[in-house]
Amino acid sequence: MSGKPFDLEAAKRGEKVQYNYGNGEWADVHFVGVKKCGEIVFQHLIGSPYLFHPILPLLRMAPKPPKEMWVQWFHGPNGVIMGTTPRDSPDDARGSAKGFSLINEPQKVLVPDES
């Protein structure tokens, strides 16, 4: 799962930001603000309590956690096992397979949040 490019307005709204320390690993940081000269300032969440002025390519918006959704498995035409598209609730998943022979209860799945 990868994050989106750094978005100053999103960071100002409180969306999570990450910094790459140069080793390929991304870590959550706290966006502090922008200095008058335009430099972005952030603070480490773990370890050093002091502020940093990062190089922009090393900042990104943190990826959103996967969304929990529900799928209902059922016997489709010719007995083929099929699943519904992910739905927001077990009832929605069950209802979208109405008219088919259901297999067990709806199953929780994790779907990447692309918003």
Where in the chain are the domains? 8-61, 67-111
Vertex 56 angle, CA 60 and 114, to 5°? 20
What local confidence, expressed as pLDDT, does residue 94 receive?
95
User: What's the average pLDDT block by block, 10 residues per block, for the chain (115 residues)?
Assistant: 83 90 82 82 70 70 90 90 95 94 94 75
Compute the distance between CA of residue 83 and CA of residue 92 in angstroms, rounded to an integer: 13
**pTM for the full model?**
0.59
Letter string b/e over residues 31-59, b meaning 16 or more CB atoms within 10 A of that residue's CB: beeeeeeeebebebeeeeeeebebeeeeb
What local confidence, expressed as pLDDT, does residue 113 receive?
75
Residues 6+ apart with CB under 8 A from 44: 27, 29, 30, 50, 52
